[in-house]
Structure 1
Amino acid sequence: MSAVFVDMSMSLDGFITGPNDSRENPLGEGGERLHEWVFDLASWREQQGLDGGKTNRDDEIVAESIERIGAHVMGRRMFDNDGGPWGDEPFEGYWGETPPFHGPVFVLTHHAREPLEMDGGTTFHFVTDGTEAALERAEAAAGDRDVRISGGADVVRQCIEAGLVDEIQLQLVPVLLGDGIRLFEHLADGPIELERTRVVESPDVTHLRFRVKTDTANE
């Protein structure tokens, strides 16, 4: 059975984007700083169709995460920073003609849309019947691999509150953004107990991994 995991970069003060995120600037002001640690890694570059890159412990952790993913779930806000009708020429995401997912991606939305097939094996499926339905479809598509909740914050919180997340991986970046979107703000059900299962330090980022304790997740 597939595990469901969250894997996101986060600032030391808990933000996953900077302030004033928009379609033109989806990570917000200063938000790209959260991902600088990954840009030169060989495993990340390979997913983008690029050659070269560093091979170190950070790269091993990214490669490990990529290898386990069979399907992604994301919110409409992550896909296009919008929430309204798709319009006559619907946006096709931020990732160009060859998105780095290379598999099925289930996008939560209130507005129906036909699946969007892209180069490189990525197909975006637009799900209008809720978070649990999206996860069920993702788990079926993932087979013996795992499902990654890729964002944004609202979808991550919904899945955690519903007791649907098995594991949380945080890439903690040594920066204080001061404003933006916080990952764990306003969780409706708490406290939610976690068990720390790994800590890996590097000069640019600290990798944290937690198991969600199932006996407390739904209390």
Structure 2
Amino acid sequence: MARLIAIMSMSLDGFVADPEDGVTEVFGWQFTSGDVEVNTGGADAMTLRMSAPSAAHYLGLTSELGAVLTGRRTFDKAEGWGGNHAWGPAFVLTHHVPDGWPRAGSAVHFVTDGLDSAVQQAKDAAGEKAVGVHGADTIQQLLNAGLLDELAIDVAAVLLGSGVRLFDQLDAAPVLGDPSVVQGVGVTHLRYPVSRAEHPSPGTR
């Protein structure tokens, strides 16, 4: 069964976006930390420029993925990834399908019947690979439901002071195992296994 890996970049003080919903500060390391070029792929492909350790970490992590699970806010912020996410079919947890979607030739799917359904659809699409999870609210829901297998967190060397927190609205602190650590330039890459303890059924926040 496919694993669920939360993949987010955040500030040292725990924010994934600033008060204006900007993410430039926390993702700056992907564009300015080195000279190794990495093409993201997907319909809206970008060329990233990272340090060698960050590039190796990024390529290793993304090679494990076969599908994406995320929330509506992240979908809107990314403008739908041009219709095709670089990491595989994308499943967007939402209450309402946005106007103009779904689109012909797109691998973006909208799930309106809850977290359990979104998880199952993403896992089915990923097959033997893992599901990459985006979005603070979606990650919080999965942690509260006991469905997340791993946290892959890129801690950028910035302090934001306020904004959108990654670990907010948690019912209880998750139990984490020992992390793997990769030191980049301006960022530290952490991968924590998450214990699969007993949790209540997921809600639909």
> What TM-score, normalized by structure 2, do the two folds share?
0.84
| Structure 1 residue 60 corresponds to structure 2 residue 60 | no
Match of 1:184 in 2: 167
Match of 1:39 in 2: 31
Is the alpha carbon distance of 1:101 and 1:116 closer, same or farther for their aligned partners in structure 2, counting shifts above 3 Å? Answer: farther
Cα offset for 1:42?
2.5
Match of 1:133 in 2: 117
Match of 2:176 in 1: 194
Equivalent pairs: percent with the same residue? 36
**Within 2, Cα distance between the matches of 1:191 and 1:53?**
35
- The answer to whether the 8 A contact 2:67-2:87 is kept is no
Aligned CA RMSD, in angstroms, stands at 2.4
Aligned length: 194
Match of 1:25 in 2: none
- Unpaired runs of 5+ residues, structure 2, are 201-205
Is the alpha carbon distance of 1:56 and 1:62 closer, same or farther for their aligned partners in structure 2, counting shifts above 3 Å? Answer: same
Is the alpha carbon distance of 1:55 and 1:208 closer, same or farther for their aligned partners in structure 2, counting shifts above 3 Å? Answer: closer
> What TM-score, normalized by structure 1, do the two folds share?
0.79
Is the alpha carbon distance of 1:140 and 1:96 closer, same or farther for their aligned partners in structure 2, counting shifts above 3 Å? Answer: closer
SS at the partner of 1:73?
Answer: strand
Q: 1:218 aligns with which of 195, 199, 202?
A: 199
**Within 1, Cα distance between the matches of 2:26 and 2:132?**
19
**Within 1, Cα distance between the matches of 2:97 and 2:163?**
29
**Within 2, Cα distance between the matches of 1:46 and 1:62?**
13
- The answer to whether the 8 A contact 2:13-2:160 is kept is yes
- Unpaired runs of 5+ residues, structure 1, are 22-27, 82-92
Query: After the TM superposition, which residues 111-126 of structure 1 pair with which residues of structure 2 at under 5 Å, given as runs?
Result: 111-112=96-97, 115-117=102-104, 123-126=107-110
**Within 1, Cα distance between the matches of 2:181 and 2:2?**
23
Per-residue Cα deviation, 1:33-58 (whole angstroms, up to 9, x for no partner): 11111125523455554568556110
Match of 1:104 in 2: 89
